[in-house]
């Protein structure tokens, strides 16, 4: 009978331990709703990051006032916000690889304040 080297035995034990501690995520979308947003704003404090989503209601050029109808507020802790930031960066990078760069206008111009 041959004995396995200690290092190989440790690796196998670690793999078994990892397999036992993995958690399966089940996404429950029974209460989910979908909302369209073409405007987003972010604010933060030390304890949380707040995302505000809405829809630009003014479609005419040259308007002095822009009405944004807010529909959703998402409040995250800073760790979740950082993970979200990383995921968004990855998604946009992949999108631009497939479809080309997304040009972004300076904020003042986007609001009609050239």
> What is the C-alpha to C-alpha distance for residues 53 and 40, in angstroms, rounded to an integer?
5
Does 63 score more than 80 pLDDT? no
- The DSSP letter of residue 111 is T
In whole angstroms, give the CA distance from residue 114 to residue 109.
Answer: 5
Region 93-99: what's the mean pLDDT?
98
- What is the spatial distance between Cα 110 and Cα 114, in angstroms, rounded to a whole number? 8
The pLDDT tens digits of the residues spanning 5-39 come to 666 766 766 666 666 788 999 999 999 999 999 99
Q: Is the pTM of this model over 0.85?
A: no
Radius of gyration of the chain (CA): 24
Edge-to-edge strands of the sheet including 49-56?
A: 39-44, 49-56, 68-76
Whether the CB-CB separation of 43 and 50 falls below 8 Å is answered with yes
Query: Helix or strand or coil: residue 70?
Result: strand
């Amino acid at each position: 009978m041959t004995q396995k080297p200690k290092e190989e035995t440790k690796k196998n034990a670690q793999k078994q331990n990892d397999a036992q501690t993995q958690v399966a995520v089940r996404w429950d979308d029974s209460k989910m709703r979908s909302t369209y947003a073409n405007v987003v704003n972010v604010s933060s404090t030390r304890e949380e990051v707040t995302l505000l989503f809405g829809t630009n209601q003014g479609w005419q050029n040259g308007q002095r006032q822009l009405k944004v109808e807010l529909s959703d507020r998402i409040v995250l802790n800073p760790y979740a916000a950082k993970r979200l930031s990383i995921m968004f960066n990855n998604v946009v990078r992949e999108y631009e690889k497939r479809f080309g760069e997304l040009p972004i206008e300076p904020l003042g111009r986007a609001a009609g304040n050239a």
